[in-house]
Structure 1
Amino acid sequence: MATSNGLRVDMIIRTLFIALLAGIAFPSTCLAQTAREQARSDFAPYGSMMGTQFRHMKLWFAGKLGNWKLAAYELDQIERDLAAAALPSGAPAQESLVKRTQELRETVNARDWTRFADAYGALTNECNGCHRATGHGFITVQIPTSSPFSDQAFEDQVAEGRSLARRICGECHGLPDRSTATVARRFGAPGLEDVVRRPSFSEDSVRGLLTSNHRRLGPDQTMPNPRLTNYEIDEIVAYFRELRSGANR
């Protein structure tokens, strides 16, 4: 009997001890979780604005270099961020920012560089006005002078490749967007649309051809060597890829 009572007392003590530990641990866990959530909440606007600043820079270089598809994409992201942002008290009305982005959207759709530059400047000034109104006037954004994104090419590769192909290949092969069929027939070279339709066509084969010295190629083995750089080859390959996808539709 004494042994049974001793066991019950021991179990009660263990239960109380576990409950005491739980009472200490759970509030600490809750406090730590609350602190993490608060930190994320405090950092969220900063992270959002940092992302918007990156897109602001990318938008400028995309427009400057005529990559209007990329410009439209970056503007989409900026509009999404601004719509999701909880602007602090004192900030200009959301409608003002919406108006500036809409004006910029019109210039992107029109592919108008001159109007784009003006509208971009107006949006930048609107951002700085918001900073000043909310007590953050020490944060001043400007038109970028150089790109920090050394791993991204802002040119439109397809457009650049088309221009290169017109200048280098078009005289003999002819381009689908240029009336050079007569010239191509005179030289006896296949048109580029015919080239990309061939079953043997591949991006690797194009790269191999463009990096070769072109010996024993073409009628009378006279196909010239264009001596292209690696990035120029990438652009022509991108254009050929676009040309092939259009031919396969």
Structure 2
Amino acid sequence: MFEVSLVGPTMQPVRSFTGPALLPERSLRNALPAGILVLPSFYGDVPASPALLRWITRHYDAGGCILASASGVRILAETGLLDRRDATCNLADRRAIAATRPAVRLSPQAALVIDGRLITAASITPTIDACAHLVSRFHGETAALKFARYANSARQLAGIGVAGGQQEHGDARMLVAQRYIEQHSCAGITPDDVARHIAMSQRNLARRFSAALGVTPVQYILQCRIAQAKRMLAKPNVSLRRVAIETGFSDEVVFRRAFKQVAGQAPSTWRALIDS
């Protein structure tokens, strides 16, 4: 699915905090372009070299995704790429990041934050969830849901099938609206609820939301509900009736109709595809 390459500052072995040495396959000088850069967690106060920070920045500027896990978020923050962006980190690094990069919008209570092509995970478990998100982004939601079932992904892919790259639109207030919908879509919210949440008229919300995401608030609410339905359908022994009720539909008939409208196929067909 992905070709993985270990890149080090040089070709010298790097000793892991568990003991075994990691052998880089490439150095910063000869690393190949990649779609995803993973900054893993590390132990201790290890400063990042200017060359490494420049290399990370060039990767992002070239259109690549970056996943920073636990203390790897400190390295990503040092590049300045997280300034005025949402991010999470482990609690041990919160003060250091806040002191050196105060422009980073830290949410350390969040396990995983996806801000466009920048993904930060507070610990190992949400890093697995982040990997599921990347599988979805590069290989589609069916592959990602299969990965989540195999890896026992804790969040069950909260972003799959919903936003894709839409969080890169740059409208901060619409991002707040977008996240509010994603968190409350199955609770029967309406565009009026969303407008009140961000202190905006329904008309302005509809105009700006459509301009930013290419869909109306009503359509996005439905997309989020169907995305949650897909996550539930990926679990064994969950009835359609339960899925319909927990995603806010009045009955199975209404749910089936809405699911086919958004997903292009019946719930049973989609479930069979995941199980194959």
- What TM-score range do you get, normalising by the shorter chain? under 0.3
TM-score, normalised on structure 2? 0.24
Structure with more contact order per residue of length (Cα contacts < 8 Å, sep ≥ 6): 1
More strand by share: 2
More helix by share: 1
